[in-house]
Amino acid sequence: MTHTAGPITAAWFLFSEENRPLGQITRRHGDDLAPSVGEELRDGPSWNTATVLEFSEVRATCGVRRFRLVVRVTD
3 assigned to some structural domain: no
20 assigned to some structural domain: yes
Q: What is the pLDDT of residues 8-52, one digit of tens each?
A: 899 999 999 999 999 999 988 777 899 999 999 998 888 999 999
pLDDT of residue 43: 87
2 assigned to some structural domain: no
1 assigned to some structural domain: no
Q: Structurally, how many domains does the chain consist of?
A: 1
51 assigned to some structural domain: yes
Q: How many residues does the chain have?
A: 75
Q: Which pTM value belongs to this model?
A: 0.84
Q: Higher model confidence: residue 3 or residue 29?
A: 29
Domain carrying residue 56:
8-73
